[in-house]
Structure 1
Amino acid sequence: MDTTDASATPDTGASAPPRAEAPASPDRQEAAAAPARPVSRRIAAAAREEAEAVVRGAWGDGERRPREEDVIDLLLVVSELVGNAVRHGGGLAAFEARAVDGGVRLDVSDHSPVVPAAASGRVPFPARDQGSGYGWPLIARLARDVTVRRRPGRGKTISVLVPVRAADPR
Structure 2
Amino acid sequence: MRPRSVPITSAATARSYVRSVVEEHRRVPSGPAGERAVMDLLLVVSEAVTNAIRHGGGLAGFEVALLPEGVRLSVHDYSDAVPSAAYGPGTLPHSHEGSGYGWPLIIRLSREIHIERRRAGGKTVTVLVPLT
> TM-score range with shorter-chain normalisation?
0.7 to 0.9
Q: 1:130 to 1:94 in 2, by over 3 A?
A: same
Question: Which residue of the partner structure matches residue 58 of structure 1?
Answer: 25
RCO comparison, higher one (Cα < 8 Å, 6+): 2
Moved more, 50-59 or 128-137: 128-137
1:120 deviation in Å? 2.6
Query: Residue type matched to 2:14 in 1?
Result: A
TM-score, scaled to structure 1: 0.67
- The match for 2:7 is 2
Instruction: In structure 1, list runs of 5 or more residues that go unmatched.
Output: 4-41, 166-170
CA RMSD after TM alignment: 1.9
Identity between Structure 1 and Structure 2 (%): 50
Aligned length: 125
Gaps of 5+ in 2: 1-5
Aligned-partner SS, 1:117? coil
Deviation at 1:56, TM superposition (A): 1.0
Aligned twin of 1:153: 120
State the 4+ residue runs in structure 1 displaced beyond 6 angstroms. Answer: none
Give the TM-score normalised by the residue count of structure 2.
0.86
1:140 aligns with 2:112: no
Letter of the aligned partner of 2:43 in structure 1? L
Structure 1 window deviating more from structure 2 (125-134 vs 87-96): it is 125-134
Out of 81, 91, 116, the residue aligned to residue 48 of structure 2 is 81
Shift of 1:97: 1.2
Q: CA deviation at 1:137?
A: 1.1
Equivalent residues in 2 for 1:67-146, closer than 5 Å: 67-146=34-113
Letter in 1 for 2:49: V
Query: 1:48 aligns to what?
Result: 15
Give the whole-Å Cα distance in 1 for the aligned partners of 2:50 and 2:131. 22
| Secondary structure in 2 matching 1:122 | coil
Larger % of strand: which?
2
Q: What is the deviation of 1:129?
A: 4.7
AA in 2 matched with 1:2: P
